[in-house]
Every structure is written in structure tokens, then in C-alpha cells.
């Protein structure tokens, strides 16, 4: 950490600052320049509260050299984290297809879609039981009953299930879920992060709509600091000024995260744009960028398309995406197994 | 709600759409134009799921005419909502100063600051007991003990207290808090919104970092739909590309909200910029824009400034802000009482 | 175009509005609903100034149904525009690699790089003679002499040349350039757009850092309205809150533009992120998303790497990108010729 | 400038970097830390191309300590720049009201509005002769004839005139204009900046829609580096995700700029929101934030309101704004003269 202090600062305040730094067990290297004094902090600087340092009157600017995340940092864990979900691996050169309906609506629906996506190539089933909706007047999901129906679909197909948790109070309901999803709006719901950090379950952590990559890794750090190291990151688009797509898929995050962290990273091309016609090209793009998997919304019955989000594919469309993506995988050193 | 349908659409699909709309108890007005067909929906359209409609292949675009929020909508409640907190009123032409430390640290600290801000003109005391922090390694607040210390400060000064809740599990701890704050990161923590919606307490609802004004009102709607109508909105800056300030304070939201809703709106100039030198000018700006109050961070002891955020003022600086703002209030038809 | 008028409006003002619309040669379809009156405008609505309509007191909202661009609109020109540059085609299923240095620095440098990128698979040469720089103290390019050196490189290699124009006054200098580039900062330099619209040259129009897809197409429309229909669109990243990349590459724009316009679309992965390590994955992603070409910065001499931007590849790295992208092209129905 | 070099870097490359820095006439201070090597550059670092340094393989990060702008920097020019326009002063504690129509349409119109805004308190007249419009089909302004009409209005009222230049070719037409405006879309039209930098005229430089405060000051630097030091900065809103306002007025920029630069700063509340009802509250807010003036659109004839933008006020509304703002000025140590 580099602290730039104003040259004309009160020397007593400077001594206070240096003393405070040393009290935290850090070394300090002081360089006096022409227009400022530069302090180089040495040691466990990720634990220093950067906002606190910035608050001092004498401080002109502060810059981290080390990243503020440790458990998620590839520097300290150079090996890829591999997470096994019912025999399907995330991380390293593995690639997975997670597919299923936006919301679980009935046993017939979810089992039907589960069979269809499995036949099309999906390796995990997704489906919403608890649904975060902007409006209190929108369908909020089937809740616990939805979780039961997902388990039936798992039994019928063998597909492990991925579904979103929205409340600390529901932890017990999710004990038998294969992958627990933290949605974009909950990426900084720190209490929930701590709770799922105590679970022995893979956590699929979506990026918040307006969160930086660093904040995303800090949220992974929250989970990991409670003991749970099995985190799958999922890019799903960020909020920008462009109105044609609901969000802007930030695929540059994929190769960046590959450098910064050892955790697996997948992409959700359905929610990002909110337009089903974009799912295929953005799936191919995500594979090209090096993603380790895709999470795609699929609905079963074109006649009831109205009950699915505008981003959902029909099973045959999903199958076409799977087949095209499979052809790209060898070119980016990924395997589908 | 206006639905624009492609002119060359499958007529059967169009009939299905019209049938579906009517089944929801809505009227439909069909206009056939040269290049499209326009459906005008009449009735309780806020309850229609706009994403669902957009999903139909035949739909070119959908536009709401009515706002999707009802309880918070000024159209249906033209009178300002006035919320009384221990004799201090929010809403209408009332103006309040909420001040206090970022975090509660000790009885001496919080009581000391409480007395100082009261003397300087504050009408409510703020202070964090549970703190949302980006890093799990940063101080997370004193928790329940912090709430107790706030109550002591209230007893000593008579100032009602405002503090942030971060978990559904803590609802009982907040029964004796005067104003329960929902922080920016929890603005779309829908479970928490529902829980505080069941409380009989004023809720201070901060705007999310990347949330539109409409989404903000929908979150107010979540609380109101559970029965709690006492909501104070608090603008605190949105995320933009500008790196010099932590967030960009969106003061245009103030006059816009005055038109859209009957709920009181205040401004937090401390968190928005994250720079203490900006608190005074942005407080005057907020007052000029028509805000109904300010929430300002104040720390007590310049010698320990390091323990306060960079956005905190000293009590004498806060007093100067209060005095300058008081002079602006009559020019914008606000009263400080 | 749909104009929503307040139900309780002054009828005389409504008549004025309807009269004004008809005077513009448009038809009007009036629907009276419960809470508003909806006017459907029929005819050449792209020529209506939407801001003008919004300004009326009685107007609640206005929504375009037809896009405001016509010449660039695929609806009116369903066939792909194919642009031939020295035998290399843009548009349709064609794919091109444009490569070269950020700035032209010397004959040796630009001819050397030109030969290297041709050997690696490039089909056009890029290079900056006039350079837009944020700081007046940064190198501003060699200017006219740089254009001469590019022409020498063209003569030596046969590669057509692409270079940026920054001033109306330089039009004559660009008469012998194969593709004239409009940079991101000039996307709404309307005078310059009009001038290049009078040229009989392909124009490579980069997206502005903060411009929507619709504004981008309107800028194409400016050029086309002067007679020049040969426009190649180039996505190069938009400004967002994410600080790790200089800009966020918006690859969703590729499939969207394919629907909206008949013009060819390529991607510049070098400027978007500003990080050379991201060029390969983002090139593969762009190809997967359906781009019709790539524009990539390549520098010649690793010993002088300091004089190239951080986003530039070495020739052998560029060759690897070409080879990997070539493998993806057949999967997305593109040909490299 | 601080350059952080990877600890395990090739020592020869490090020596090359240090040699290159010294060749630029700069001193280097080397600190070897545990995980990185920190170079502190001393001397005229604003002239160092930061992107160039970042490009080196061995460089982990680079951070400026000194701002990259010099002429505009308050550090080197602590005194406020005061710009006199026909006896009306910008800068320091002076406050000016610039008002007038969006576009000049006729002699009668512009003279009529000029008289009305003068009576209401305006000290300068604004009006567009050349209009930047997103669409080539929108009215582009009267051009040179519009400039003539503005001069007539000046003669009739004595108000100095402010109008936008859009082309280097028009410089001669603007020799007799009092304040030459550079619009938001041209903030980084570097050729135009250089040309107006050679004029002996006050330049009103609007902030670009997606430009940072630092980039804005760099554009001022472009003008100043050509000799023209008379620059008035004008905040007019930045592009964000919020759709309710056309742009988000960034009033925090006002107090920040006051610290960073000695140049005067004013605010345009009309274009920022694009909503006339917001002009009054945002004008009061701008005054509260410390702006040194306001530029407000006023139209003359309510019967022809359709020909003015939705952001224009009627003269009597403008007069009310002037009167309310005048009451705020003494509270922020500004004078209206």
C-alpha cells in the first residue's frame, strides 16, 4: 500500500500516521519527494482499511498494491479450484451447461424441462423456487414447494440442481440442494454470504448489477472467510447507459478473473440481455472468452411461452446452442464431460 | 400499457395475446397502423408483468403509461405523507438534520457525539451498530451492544435514533429503534423489505447504488404492501464512471420524487462523495433542490479522526452546515422545527 | 410514434397538437382511454422531432415505434451491404483482419509491421497518422507525413490502409486512403460526419464511448444522408463503472446490430480493454458473437515496446489470434478470404 | 508518479525502464518492498505518457501523484481566474445569468427573448446558430445568419452573446462573438480545441456526456496550451443508467473543480435533465453548491412552445429563478453584478 502525504503537512500528524501504521504490525518505507512524501507499507496490508487512511487531512491519496482479497487470490493459490457437483466438474478446463426454467411452476413443467435439457446436453438443472422480483405484485416463486419439485426432477433425470436462496431463514431448506445460488441483488447481502459460507455446498455467486470485479471477489472472500471454499462465479451483465439490452454482458471479466482468482467462472447469457435471440451469439462469445460454463433459461412449451421470460429458449434452440458451443470448446482448451 | 405488435404477425398468436390480456380483467383497445398494430390496455395494468409481455415473438415493444407503483404513487395519494418521529416531522415542508458517527464505538463516544450534534442543531441521532463492509476483514460494527449504546445516547439527549438493519433475524432487536434504516446494498433485499414492512416503525430507505428511481419506489412499494406506510426515502449517490467521487449524488431525484410520490425525501451528502470537504456545498445544494432533510456523519474527536470515515465532519463543521442550510430553508418553503 | 396525452388536458392544446402533426403530412389515430388519450402517428415519423413533442405541457410521454434511422435501417434494406476494399469484402459472411501499429513512427517501422501482419494473416493495414490524445502534451501523430508512410507500406505489401481523420480540413489528404476512420470521440462530430459523407470512400465509424446503439446508427445516418453508403461500424467498448478495463466491450451490440442494420460490424478488442493479454480471448469472443472482422494493434519490436500502447500484440501473438479465430469462423458461418 | 514493478521482474528490463525515465529528465527514487519494487518519479511528470508506462510487461501499476494538467491547475495558479465579458465577470465571487433560446429562429424571436431575459435579470444572451443534433433530419440551426441575428439582439439590449461553434472552418464567423461555446459532444474534438485556443475570446467549455473531471480539465489544457487562458467550465450532466432524466447533473463537480482549478465554473440545468420543471430546483441547488453562474434556456412565446425544447422556461418562470437564486447568493459568498 502506497500512501501519498502532502509535503507541507503537519509533521506531528505524519508521525501519528506512521505510528498508527506500525501499531498494525506493518513496516513503513518513507520517501521524501519534491512535492510529496510517499509511505510504502509492507506486510499484511489487505487488512488495512483504505477509507480510514484516506480520511486523514494530511493524506493526498492512497493506492493498494496488493489486492484486498486473499483466499480468492490466485497469487496465494495458483492452482485452479475444481468443484465437483455430482460428477460434473467446474473449474480448470471443464465446461458445464446449466439449463432450466426461470421459475418452477409444477411437477409436470419442471420434470418435462429437466428431461428435455438433459437430452439436449445440459449437465445441471436450474430453476427458481424463490424469485427476486422488482415488483411486490409479480409472482414471487413457489418457495419450499418449488424446491421439492426440483428434487423430484433431479430424481427423474439425475441432474444436480441449482437454485437461488434469498433468506438466511431458508438455509435449512437448501441443505439438499446441489448448488446454492446467490443472486445479483444479494451479492452484497453480507449476512446471507456469511450464512452460506458456513454451508458445505458449492455456491454460485452472481455478479451484482453495479459491482466491480474487485467487489465481487470481496464477496467471494466473505463466503470463504467462513470456511466454504467452493465458489463458482457467474457473470450476468452490468448496468450501463445502453437501453437496448437489460444489462451489458461484461465478457472481459472472464479472462481478467482467470488471472486474478483460482475460482471457476461461468456466464449467464439469458439474464444479461433479456432477449432470447441474443442467447446463442452471446453463448458462443462467452465460450470464446474462456468461460467455464453457461447457465441458460429454457422453457418447455411454446404454446405457453407467455409464462416464460423473454430470455428463455425452447429446448431445440438450447440444443443448437449446446452443439455450437461444443465445437468451440476444443479451440479454447475446454472439455465437456 | 401500450403493446406494439408486428404488423405481419401470426393472427392466432395475436388472438392468444388479446385473450390473455382480457383474462387478467383488462380491456383492450386495438389500433391497426401501417407498419404495426397497437394494443392499448385499460384497467389495473401495474399488475401486468411487462417482461412477460415482451417475451412474445409477435411483440415489438411494450410501454407502460401508468407507473408500476401504486401505494407510493402521488397520483393516488396527492397529499404529502407526514411522518412524526418523537415530535420531529418528515415530509411536507418539514426539514430535519440527522447526524452522528459512522459506527458506534463506545458509550463515551456516542453520547459525546450525540450531545455535540444536538447542540449544533441535529434533531435525530444516527450511528451504525451493524455495518455493511465490502471486506470481511473490516470492522463489522458492535452489533446488539451498539444498539444499546444508541439507546443510552437517546436517553441522555432526547434525540430519536436512526440505525441500519442488515438481517431479518435482527427484527426484534430493532423494536425500540425510532427509525430503521435499509442501506443502499439492501434496497432490493426483498425478504428484508417484507419484514420491515410488518413493523410499525418509520423506515429510512436508501437508494441503491445502481438503482433507478422507479426501482427505488418499487422497493418502497414492497414495504408498503405489507402494511407499513411510513417510509422516508434517502438519496445517497449512484454509481457512475466518475472516479473522483465515490458516487455521484443525483439531486435531480429530489424534485422528480416530489412529483412521483407523496413520501418524504432526504439526502445523505456524506456517503455520496466520501469526501468531507464536499459535505457543506452538497448540503446547501440538497436544500436548494428541495430535500426534506439531511443525514450527515459527524465524528467527535479530531485526535482520533483516523477512526472515522473520510466523509465525517467535526461538530463545529456540522454546526456551520446547519446554520447555512437554515438560511436557505425559507427560500425553498421549508421549516426547521 | 405513440403520443400519450394527459386525459385532463386542455382540449384546445390537444387540437393544436393534432393540427401540428397533420401539418407535417402525418395521419393521426386517436384512442381515448380511462386515464389518458393515445395518439398513434402514421407516416414518415422518423422525421418528427421527438424532443419537440415531449416539450408540450399536455404530453405525458412519447414513444417511437419506428426507428429514427432510415438509410441504415435493415427494415428498408433487408440485404446485407457488402463493401469491397481492394478485393477484401466487409459485410455478409465475410471476415477481415485489420492490423497495424497504434501510431506511424517511421517508414521502417510501418513497413516492417505491415509485412509482419500480412504474413500473419492480416488483410488490411491500420496505423495512426493523426492521433486523438487526452493530453496536449502527448504525441499527436506524424500527420500528413504519416499518411505518406502508410501509402509506402501499402505499396510494399498490397494491403489497403485504414487510418483516422480528425479534421474537416484534412479531407483532401485522405483522398487516397482506402478506409477513412472516424474515431470514438468524433462519432458525434457532425460536421466531420457530413464531410466524409461526401467522400466516395468506405468509412469505418467507431462507436462513441458513451453512445447508445441508436445514436451510433444516427451517426451512420448522417454520413449516408450525404450520399456515402459505405459504412463499416466498429464496436470498441463503452464507458462503465468498472475500473479494471479502460472500457467495457459491448459484444451484445453485434447480434443486435445484425438485426437493426444492413451495415457490416467489426470489433476492436485492443482499445476496449487497453490490456494486451485480453486481446486474444476477446477476439475469440467477438468472432463467436458474429463480428465481421477484427481491428487489432500490433507492434513490431519488443525492445521498443515502450513506444506502443499496452494493448498492442507482437506479430507472433497476432498470428496466434488469427489462427484461433479462423477456426471459429466456420462455426458462425463466416469466411475469411 | 509512482510505478509499481513486479518483484520477480527481469532486472535488465527494470534497468531499461529506469534509464528511459531518466532520459526524460526525471529523477527516480527506488524502494524495494517484499512483493514489489516501487519507483517514485520526481520532476515534470505530467509530461510522462502514463499509458506508455503501463504497457511494459514488468509494470504492475502506475499512479499519478501530480495531476496531468498544469495551466489549469490551481496548485500552480492559486488565484482565481476572473474573465470579464462586456463588464460582466466570471470567476471569483461573481455570478452571472446566461439566458436565451435553444435556437435562433428569427430577428423578432431572438430580440424579443433577449429583451425579456434582460428585464428578468440575465446578464448575457445565449442562442444556438449552429445546432448539434443527433439526427440529420432535425433542424440544424440557421448558421451564419443566426450569428447575425444574435448580434442584432446584442445591439438592441447590450447583452454580450454566447453561442456554440461546431467547425474549425467557422472560426472567422465567431470573431465578433463575445463567448464561444464548445458543446459537450465536442469536448474532445481536439482540433477544434486547438483552433479556439488561438482565439483571443472567452471559451465556454461544456463537460462531455461521458467525460471525467480530469479529462475535462485536460481539454481546458488543450485550449490553454495554445495561449488562450480565458476558459469558463460548464457542467451540464453526465450519462448514467437513470432513464428519467436525460443526463444526471453532477453538482459535486462544482466544489471539486474549485479545489482543482482556478477557472470559473457555471452550470446548465436546462440540458442536464431535459425537463423544464427541474430547472428551478436544480438552479437553486447549483447556486448552493457554489456555481459561478447559470445558463438557462428561455423561450418567448408559449403559443409556439412546440418549437422550443422541453427544457425551456417562459420569461416569467426564468425571472422567478433569478429572484430565488439571488437570495441564495449572499449565503454562498457570491455577488450578482
Digit-coded pLDDT (tens) for D163-221: 999 999 999 999 999 999 999 999 999 999 999 999 999 999 999 999 999 999 999 99
Regions of chain A where pLDDT drops below 50: 303, 305-308
Q: Rounded to an integer, what distance in angstroms lies between the CA atom of residue B315 and that of residue B100?
A: 9
Is A161:A151 a contact under the CB 8 Å cutoff? yes
> Which of B74-83, C79-88, D33-42, D138-147 comes out lowest in average pLDDT?
D33-42
The residue among B33, B60, B211 with the most chain C CBs within 10 A of its CB, best to mutate, is B33
Whether A222 sits inside 8 A of B311 (CB atoms) is no
* pLDDT of amino acid B247: 93
* pLDDT of amino acid C302: 52
**Residue D304 pLDDT level (bands cut at 50, 70, 90):** low
* pLDDT of amino acid D271: 84
Run of H or E residues at D84: strand D83-85
pLDDT digits (tens, 9 = 90+) for B133-165: 888 888 889 999 999 999 999 999 999 999 999
Q: Which residues of A touch D36 (CB under 8 A)?
A: 65
Q: Rounded to an integer, what distance in angstroms lies between the CA atom of residue A189 and that of residue B225?
A: 22
Q: Rounded to an integer, what distance in angstroms lies between the CA atom of residue D160 and that of residue D178?
A: 6
The residue among D281, D294, D324, D329 with the most chain B CBs within 10 A of its CB, best to mutate, is D281
CA distances from A315 to A269, A289, A291, A320, B13 (A): 16, 24, 22, 9, 20
3-state SS class at A73: strand
End-to-end CA distance of chain A: 43
Whether C38 sits inside 8 A of B34 (CB atoms) is no
Q: Which residues of B touch C35 (CB under 8 A)?
A: 65-66
Q: Which residues of D touch A2 (CB under 8 A)?
A: 2, 4, 38, 63
CA distances from B38 to B27, B41, B209, C41 (A): 13, 10, 36, 11
CB contact C136 to D (< 8 Å): yes
Whether D190 sits inside 8 A of C57 (CB atoms) is no
Of C258, C257, C266, C231, the closest CA to residue C122 belongs to C266
Is C61:C245 a contact under the CB 8 Å cutoff? no
Is B120:B113 a contact under the CB 8 Å cutoff? no
Whether C238 sits inside 8 A of A243 (CB atoms) is no
3-state SS class at C307: helix
Run of H or E residues at A95: strand A94-100
Task: Report chain B's mean pLDDT, rounded to a whole number.
Answer: 91
Per DSSP, the residues of A155-174 read HHH---EEEEE--GGGGGGG
* pLDDT of amino acid C306: 45
pLDDT digits (tens, 9 = 90+) for B246-269: 999 999 999 999 999 999 999 999
Q: Which residues of A touch D243 (CB under 8 A)?
A: 243
Q: Rounded to an integer, what distance in angstroms lies between the CA atom of residue B98 and that of residue B318?
A: 11
Q: Which residues of B touch A186 (CB under 8 A)?
A: 189
Of A307, A274, A292, the closest CA to residue A89 belongs to A292
Tally the residues of chain B.
Answer: 337
Stretch C121-148: mean pLDDT, rounded? 92
Q: Rounded to an integer, what distance in angstroms lies between the CA atom of residue A108 and that of residue B180?
A: 43
Chain C nearest C-alpha distance from B252 (Å): 18
Whether D218 sits inside 8 A of C136 (CB atoms) is yes
Is B258:B265 a contact under the CB 8 Å cutoff? yes
**Residue D306 pLDDT level (bands cut at 50, 70, 90):** very low
**Residue D61 pLDDT level (bands cut at 50, 70, 90):** confident
Q: Which candidate from D52, D208, D225 shows the least CB-CB separation from C136?
A: D225
Number of B to C CB contacts under 8 A, please give it.
Answer: 55
Per DSSP, the residues of D122-153 read -SEEE-BSS---SSTTS----THHHHHHHHHH
* pLDDT of amino acid D71: 93
Of A26, A28, A33, the closest CA to residue A60 belongs to A33
* pLDDT of amino acid A307: 44
Q: Rounded to an integer, what distance in angstroms lies between the CA atom of residue D187 and that of residue B283?
A: 29
**Residue C301 pLDDT level (bands cut at 50, 70, 90):** low
Whether C285 sits inside 8 A of A281 (CB atoms) is no
Q: Rounded to an integer, what distance in angstroms lies between the CA atom of residue B188 and that of residue A210?
A: 13
Instruction: Please tell me the number of Cα atoms within 13 Å of C170 on its side-chain side.
Output: 21
Chain B nearest C-alpha distance from A58 (Å): 11
Q: Which residues is D94 bridged to in the sheet?
A: D335
Query: Which chains touch C (3+ CB pairs under 8 A)?
Result: A, B, D
Task: Report chain C's mean pLDDT, rounded to a whole number.
Answer: 91
Is D312:D284 a contact under the CB 8 Å cutoff? no
Is B177:B149 a contact under the CB 8 Å cutoff? no
Stretch C314-321: mean pLDDT, rounded? 95
pLDDT digits (tens, 9 = 90+) for C202-250: 999 999 999 999 999 999 999 999 999 999 999 999 999 999 999 999 9
Stretch D308-332: mean pLDDT, rounded? 89
Is C328:C284 a contact under the CB 8 Å cutoff? yes
| Number of neighbours of residue B11 by Cβ within 10 angstroms | 9
Widest Cα–Cα separation across chain D: 76
3-state SS class at A123: coil
> Which of A71-75, A291-295, B219-223, D1-5 comes out lowest in average pLDDT?
D1-5
Chain D nearest C-alpha distance from A58 (Å): 14
pLDDT digits (tens, 9 = 90+) for C34-82: 667 888 887 777 778 777 787 677 888 787 777 889 899 998 899 999 9
Stretch C176-204: mean pLDDT, rounded? 97
The answer to whether residue C195 scores a pLDDT higher than 90 is yes
**Helix boundaries (H) for chain D:** 11-23, 50-54, 107-120, 144-157, 190-197, 213-225, 253-260, 269-273, 279-289, 315-328
Burial per residue of A193-230, b for 16 or more beta-carbon CB atoms within 10 angstroms, e otherwise: bbbbbebebbbbbbbbbbbbbbbbbbbbbbbbbeebbb
Of D240, C18, C34, C4, the closest CA to residue B64 belongs to C4
Run of H or E residues at C294: strand C293-297
Task: Report chain D's mean pLDDT, rounded to a whole number.
Answer: 91
Q: Which residues is A134 bridged to in the sheet?
A: none
CB contact B213 to D (< 8 Å): yes
What is the grid cell recorded at A271? Answer: 439474464
What is the grid cell recorded at A296? Answer: 441458460
Q: Which residues of D touch A66 (CB under 8 A)?
A: 35
Q: Which residues contact B45 (CB under 8 A, 6 or more apart)?
A: B1, B26, B64, B65, B66
Chain C nearest C-alpha distance from D336 (Å): 31
The answer to whether residue B56 scores a pLDDT higher than 60 is yes
pLDDT digits (tens, 9 = 90+) for B273-313: 788 889 999 999 999 999 999 999 998 765 454 444 567 89
Chain B nearest C-alpha distance from D16 (Å): 32
Share of chain D above pLDDT 90, in %: 67
Q: Which residues is A267 bridged to in the sheet?
A: A235, A294
Query: Which chains touch D (3+ CB pairs under 8 A)?
Result: A, B, C
Q: Rounded to an integer, what distance in angstroms lies between the CA atom of residue B112 and that of residue A23?
A: 26
Q: Rounded to an integer, what distance in angstroms lies between the CA atom of residue C38 and that of residue B274?
A: 46
What is the grid cell recorded at B34? Answer: 401501417
CA distances from D337 to D93, D94, D115, D265, D331 (A): 10, 7, 18, 17, 16
Most confident of the following: A110-119, B65-74, D12-21: A110-119
CB contact A227 to C (< 8 Å): no
Q: Which residues is A63 bridged to in the sheet?
A: A2
What is the grid cell recorded at C26? Answer: 402525418
Q: Rounded to an integer, what distance in angstroms lies between the CA atom of residue C101 and that of residue A306?
A: 51
Asked casually if ipTM beats, i.e. exceeds, 0.85, the reply is: yes
CA distances from C43 to B2, B35, D186 (A): 19, 9, 34
Is A278:C255 a contact under the CB 8 Å cutoff? yes
Q: Which residues of B touch D290 (CB under 8 A)?
A: 281, 284
The answer to whether residue B47 scores a pLDDT higher than 90 is no
Q: Rounded to an integer, what distance in angstroms lies between the CA atom of residue A73 and that of residue A81?
A: 11
Q: Which candidate from C244, C250, C324 shows the least CB-CB separation from A242?
A: C250
> Which of A104-118, B9-23, B233-247 comes out lowest in average pLDDT?
B9-23
Q: Rounded to an integer, what distance in angstroms lies between the CA atom of residue B52 and that of residue C269?
A: 35
Helices vs. strands in chain A: H and E counts, helices first: 10, 15
Per DSSP, the residues of C29-60 read EEEE-SSEEEEEEES-GGGS-HHHHHTSTTEE
Most confident of the following: B101-105, B328-332, D131-135: B328-332
Stretch B124-140: mean pLDDT, rounded? 90
Q: Which residue of D has its CA nearest to A242?
A: D241
What is the grid cell recorded at B87? Answer: 415530535
Q: Which candidate from C38, C65, C241 shows the least CB-CB separation from B40?
A: C38
| Angle at the Cα of B54 from the Cα atoms of B50 and B57, rounded to 5 degrees | 155
CB contact B36 to C (< 8 Å): yes
Q: Rounded to an integer, what distance in angstroms lies between the CA atom of residue A203 and that of residue B58?
A: 38
| Angle at the Cα of D101 from the Cα atoms of D98 and D107, rounded to 5 degrees | 115
* pLDDT of amino acid D278: 94
Amino acid at each position: 500500500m502506497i500512501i501519498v502525504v502532502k509535503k507541507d503537512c503537519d509533521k506531528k500528524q505524519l508521525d501519528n500516521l506512521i505510528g498508527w501504521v506500525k501499531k498494525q504490525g506493518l513496516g513503513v518505507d518513507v520517501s521524501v519527494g519534491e512535492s510529496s512524501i510517499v509511505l510504502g507499507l509492507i506486510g499484511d496490508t489487505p487488512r488495512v482499511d483504505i477509507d480510514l487512511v484516506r480520511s486523514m487531512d494530511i493524506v493526498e491519496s492512497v493506492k493498494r498494491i496488493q489486492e484486498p482479497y486473499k483466499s480468492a487470490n490466485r497469487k496465494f493459490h495458483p492452482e485452479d479450484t475444481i468443484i465437483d457437483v455430482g460428477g460434473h466438474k467446474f473449474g480448470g478446463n471443464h465446461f458445464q451447461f446449466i439449463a432450466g426454467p426461470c421459475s418452477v411452476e409444477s411437477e409436470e413443467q419442471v420434470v418435462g424441462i429437466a428431461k428435455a435439457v438433459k437430452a439436449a446436453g445440459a449437465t445441471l438443472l436450474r430453476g427458481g423456487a424463490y424469485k427476486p422480483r422488482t415488483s411486490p405484485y409479480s409472482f414471487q416463486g413457489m418457495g419450499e414447494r418449488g424446491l421439492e419439485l426440483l428434487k423430484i426432477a433431479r430424481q427423474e433425470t439425475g441432474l444436480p440442481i441449482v437454485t437461488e436462496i434469498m433468506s438466511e431463514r431458508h438455509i435449512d431448506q437448501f441443505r439438499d440442494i446441489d448448488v446454492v445460488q446467490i443472486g445479483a441483488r444479494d451479492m452484497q447481502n453480507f449476512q446471507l454470504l456469511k450464512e452460506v459460507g458456513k454451508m458445505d455446498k458449492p455456491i454460485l455467486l452472481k455478479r451484482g448489477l453495479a459491482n466491480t470485479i474487485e467487489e465481487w471477489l470481496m464477496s467471494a472472500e466473505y463466503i470463504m472467510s467462513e470456511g466454504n471454499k467452493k465458489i463458482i462465479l457467474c457473470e450476468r451483465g452490468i448496468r450501463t447507459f445502453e437501453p437496448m439490452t437489460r444489462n451489458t454482458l461484461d465478457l472481459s471479466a472472464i479472462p481478467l478473473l482467470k488471472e486474478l482468482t483460482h475460482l471457476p467462472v461461468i456466464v449467464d447469457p439469458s439474464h444479461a440481455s433479456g432477449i432470447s435471440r441474443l442467447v446463442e451469439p452471446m453463448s458462443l462469445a462467452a465460450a470464446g472468452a474462456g468461460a467455464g460454463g453457461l447457465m441458460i433459461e429454457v422453457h418447455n412449451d411454446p404454446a405457453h411461452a407467455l409464462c416464460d421470460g423473454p430470455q428463455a429458449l425452447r429446448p431445440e434452440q438450447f440444443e443448437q446452442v449446446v452443439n455450437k458451443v461444443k465445437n468451440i470448446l476444443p479451440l479454447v482448451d475446454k472439455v465437456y464431460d
